[in-house]
Structure 1
Amino acid sequence: MRTSLAGQGLAGLALLACTPAASASAPAYDPTLADQFQSARLEDMLPANPEARQALARARAFDATIYGTAAVLEYRQMYDQAVDKGNPLYVGFNAFAHGRALAGPGYKPFKTPNADTLYSNAWLDLRNGPVLFEVPDTAGRYFTANFLDIHGNASNISARTHGFKGGRFLIATTDWRGDVPEGTTLFRVSTPFTWILLRLLVQPSAKDLGAAQALQDRFRLQPVAGQALATDFPDGQDFSAAGFMRILDFVLRTCGHPVGEQALVHGFHPIGVAGRRTIAEALSDAATKAGIEQGFADAQGVVKASLNQTGSRPDGWTDPVDVGRYGSNYLYRAVINTRGTGANVIDENHPFSTFTDADGERLDGARSDYRMVLAPPPPARFFWSVTVYDTATRELVPNALGRYLIGDRTLGLKRAKDGSVTIVFSRNLHGHPKGANLLPIPDGPFNVVIRAQGPDPAITNGSWRPPPIRKVTE
């Protein structure tokens, strides 16, 4: 018997501490191997009693919302860029939209962007066949083409995985069968709608920005089988409970679901998701509609309440070891992607984040200035950076200095004799020397993210941890 996520959601919040999962009480088994075992032919029953029907819909909508949050968030981005021709972000499928400037306040494509790299975004539609991806020789410049399936699971063609020399890659789904051209590497992804989030490192100079922009244009996509298939896409701008379920229904009918999730997805059928009953039929029943709206709101509340719980440690820094590889951790997946889609696996980028200072109190620019001493700075093969985000908007903080991060490439960065770097966080830009080690903060709650791109073993084995952020009292 499947346990509803609604029944375990609140109690299960402690799982977000990233402790290893306990072993199953017994191994999974295949019941069809038993003699004369017969499978069900009909959909599960739908209660005739309206109150019972509403309760069932509420539970199933809760489960569906937790399960589908990442997919729906990604779909909305796909809709803006590849489907809605009236959207300013539109470029269509199988084509890059190149961001020509580093991310700043109000960055539109997604939340919590870095300000170290140029971003390029492309949405692949592989239902009609593979797409050829050409990667240029980057001459030692760090890049990663981060492939994300519709649920946010990540893989990479990058300097880390394939070096700097470039190559030709045939991007195909796992069920595609065909000939791979000579000199081309087959690279399989799990869902036909796949997002490529390309990051290209920029050194802090106008000359290097121009060189990086020219290199962006040499990353090319070419469909092998012609144009993408015509499809009736649901409205990506419908943020209601019904809109969420329509998108999730479309995703599951178009992309399918991983092996082993049959029972979970089957449980969504009573609310019109991925079953014989349509969304329109489910919503036409007042009790079911009310239950869907309640379950949707319940799940959103649980996700919101868990946003700062992504792998907390006693020192206040979160170390989300399973970003980009979620398995069946659906609440964790929903939380990470609500904080910001496009998370990479920690082999590529090991992020640390905190919302609190050394005293366990919320970071708040209206209350204090802060200081952090990196001794030593994060050991990383490609680069490291420290970035501030407004907690409410999850965006970079506007400031008079136009400075959104401090990192190993920051011009004029001051290091102590022992190699340590002291960073001062302040909103009072006139009360501190305007040196390269000053990072502006908002007049309110904020959070800090440390990125280590290409983390060294000292980070991955836990021997290097971020230092506490302390209030400035003098």
Structure 2
Amino acid sequence: MLEYAQMYSQALDTADASFTGFNRFAHDRNLARPGYAPFKTPNADTLYSNAWLDLSHGPVVLSVPDAGTTYFTVNFLDIYGNSSNISARTRGFGPGKYAIVPLGWEGSLPDGVEKFTVTTPYCWILMRVLAKDLSNPARARQVQNGFTLQPLSQPDGQQESFPAPAGSSAEQYLRVLDWIVRNAGYPVTETALVHRYRAIGVGLGPEAIDKAFADPDLVAGIKAGHAAALEALDNSSRLSGYPAATWKMPADTGAYGYNYFYRAAINTLGTGANVSIENYPFNTFADGDGDPLDGGKHDYRLTFAPPPPARFFWSLTLYDAKTRELSANPIARYIINDRTPGLVRTGSGAIPIAIQHERPKGKSLNWLPAPDGPFYLVIRAQGPEPALIEGKWLPPAVQKVKP
């Protein structure tokens, strides 16, 4: 539902400020900051570009420029949030042309164009281009400009109308789900599961949904189940992943298989999660004592010794737990990364970080400002090294500063 709502806003709703239509990039020319609207828990050191592909009429060709030494990933997410990449990791930094095709497509392609298959005919591109200089992402903007999309054919008939995802009611959720299973496909191994949804009209069309919502007893059950699911997701999104002491590490992020609840929990926390071999993330809502992180109650310390082992870059980003957005602060710092100007290291190379609401005293610490309230932290390692993937590097606990 969350991805579909983004698709509707960007590709279908002409009255929406983010509207671009299908098969066109919308480039964010500035780094995400507090109030960033497209989705929650964004990176703060990459420029984003978004595009929704409609492959129901045929392939769309993605042109990739020569990125030099600038890291990028074109992250493809099918309508269910499963991820694949054309990136500096998978294809190198050089140029290329790729025909993005849906599963089962057969046809001829122009010379010099490589076939790249995605699993659903409606697909989200969430592209990230690294801004090496956070104060001036001009080079990242130049790289963005080199990415283009070109459909190989045009629509040749009427499409079924897309239901508007207004609000978050149980009825609207089922109308969207009905449209998705009939128009975007699903794995053949889930046929029996999807067939069971027909009891409440899903998979049979809008008239069947109307009929289901004309039955008071059925409506009561649907609404109760929907409310229980939302409550469970709200309670569980911060618990997603495998435990790594008080941190959580990825459990097949971006490649969920049959773990539907985990997929929903991850997307509730923030849509657009990548596979862990591209970006290895950790998150925590708790300090080393297991208490919720709260800048209004405590000052904290975190020391990387060493920092996350990553081929391309690493970062530590702080988010307001109430809004799941970057937290406004007086020095406009939302992230500590390997390119933070004036990054303080100890003689042994360790990186000590003060996470607190008020500016710390002295200059021996890197300050990551916290809100006067609950927050959470995300570590990202883009292009994780084997030590990360094999579990040999784990993040240190966030420690309270004792009075």
TM-score (norm 1): 0.83
Residues 194-215 of structure 1 show CA distances to partners (whole Å, capped at 9, x for unaligned) of 00000000012555x1222122
Rounded to whole Å, the distance in 2 between the matches of 1:259 and 1:421 is 49
Q: Which residue is equivalent to 1:126?
A: 55
**Structure 1 contact 266–275 (Cα < 8 Å) conserved:** no
Which residue identity does 1:294 align to in structure 2?
Answer: A
**Structure 1 contact 412–436 (Cα < 8 Å) conserved:** no
Could you tell me how far 1:189 is from its partner in structure 2? 0.3
* Structure 1, unpaired ranges of 5+: 1-71
**Structure 2 contact 242–251 (Cα < 8 Å) conserved:** no
1:368 equivalent to 2:298? Answer yes
Rounded to whole Å, the distance in 2 between the matches of 1:120 and 1:143 is 11
Which residue identity does 2:249 align to in structure 1?
Answer: D
Q: Which residue is equivalent to 1:397?
A: 327
Q: Which residue of the other structure, out of 75, 86, 102, is the alignment partner of 2:31?
A: 102
Aligned length in residues: 401
SS at match of 2:53: strand
**Structure 2 contact 72–128 (Cα < 8 Å) conserved:** yes
**Structure 1 contact 132–170 (Cα < 8 Å) conserved:** yes
Rounded to whole Å, the distance in 2 between the matches of 1:455 and 1:425 is 24
Rounded to whole Å, the distance in 1 between the matches of 2:244 and 2:98 is 43
SS at match of 1:331: helix
Q: Which residue of the other structure, out of 412, 434, 456, is the alignment partner of 2:385?
A: 456
Rounded to whole Å, the distance in 2 between the matches of 1:307 and 1:215 is 34
**Structure 1 contact 80–236 (Cα < 8 Å) conserved:** no
Could you tell me how far 1:74 is from its partner in structure 2? 0.3
Rounded to whole Å, the distance in 1 between the matches of 2:328 and 2:288 is 25
Alignment of 1:31-430 (within 5 A): 72-204=1-133, 206-207=135-136, 209-227=137-155, 230-275=159-204, 278-313=208-243, 315-429=245-359
Structure 1: 4+ residue segments shifted above 4 A = 433-436
SS at match of 1:261: helix
More divergent stretch after superposition (292-301 vs 192-201): 292-301
Q: 1:161 to 1:379 in 2, by over 3 A?
A: same
Could you tell me how far 1:302 is from its partner in structure 2? 1.3
Q: 1:219 to 1:227 in 2, by over 3 A?
A: farther
Could you tell me how far 1:81 is from its partner in structure 2? 0.4
**Structure 1 contact 316–358 (Cα < 8 Å) conserved:** yes
Q: 1:437 to 1:241 in 2, by over 3 A?
A: same
Could you tell me how far 1:435 is from its partner in structure 2? 7.7
Could you tell me how far 1:432 is from its partner in structure 2? 3.3
* Structure 2, unpaired ranges of 5+: none
Residues 117-140 of structure 1 show CA distances to partners (whole Å, capped at 9, x for unaligned) of 000000000000000000000001
Rounded to whole Å, the distance in 2 between the matches of 1:184 and 1:96 is 19
Could you tell me how far 1:298 is from its partner in structure 2? 1.1
Q: 1:139 to 1:308 in 2, by over 3 A?
A: same
Q: 1:428 to 1:232 in 2, by over 3 A?
A: same
Bigger fraction of residues in strand: 2
Percent sequence identity is 51
SS at match of 1:458: helix
**Structure 2 contact 77–123 (Cα < 8 Å) conserved:** yes
More divergent stretch after superposition (265-274 vs 343-352): 265-274
Q: 1:255 to 1:435 in 2, by over 3 A?
A: farther
SS at match of 1:389: strand
Which residue identity does 1:226 align to in structure 2?
Answer: Q
Which residue identity does 1:377 align to in structure 2?
Answer: P
Which residue identity does 2:228 align to in structure 1?
Answer: D
Could you tell me how far 1:434 is from its partner in structure 2? 7.2
**Structure 1 contact 124–193 (Cα < 8 Å) conserved:** yes
**Structure 1 contact 112–340 (Cα < 8 Å) conserved:** yes
Residues 255-297 of structure 1 show CA distances to partners (whole Å, capped at 9, x for unaligned) of 1210110111111111111137711111111111111111100
Could you tell me how far 1:439 is from its partner in structure 2? 0.3
Could you tell me how far 1:238 is from its partner in structure 2? 3.0
TM-score (norm 2): 0.97
**Structure 1 contact 268–275 (Cα < 8 Å) conserved:** no
Residues 164-196 of structure 1 show CA distances to partners (whole Å, capped at 9, x for unaligned) of 002000000111110021111100000011000
Q: Which residue of the other structure, out of 437, 440, 446, is the alignment partner of 2:369?
A: 440
SS at match of 2:282: strand
RMSD of Structure 2 on Structure 1 (CA): 1.4
**Structure 1 contact 406–436 (Cα < 8 Å) conserved:** no
Rounded to whole Å, the distance in 1 between the matches of 2:282 and 2:91 is 25
Could you tell me how far 1:320 is from its partner in structure 2? 1.4
Rounded to whole Å, the distance in 1 between the matches of 2:231 and 2:237 is 10
**Structure 1 contact 385–407 (Cα < 8 Å) conserved:** yes
**Structure 2 contact 53–123 (Cα < 8 Å) conserved:** yes
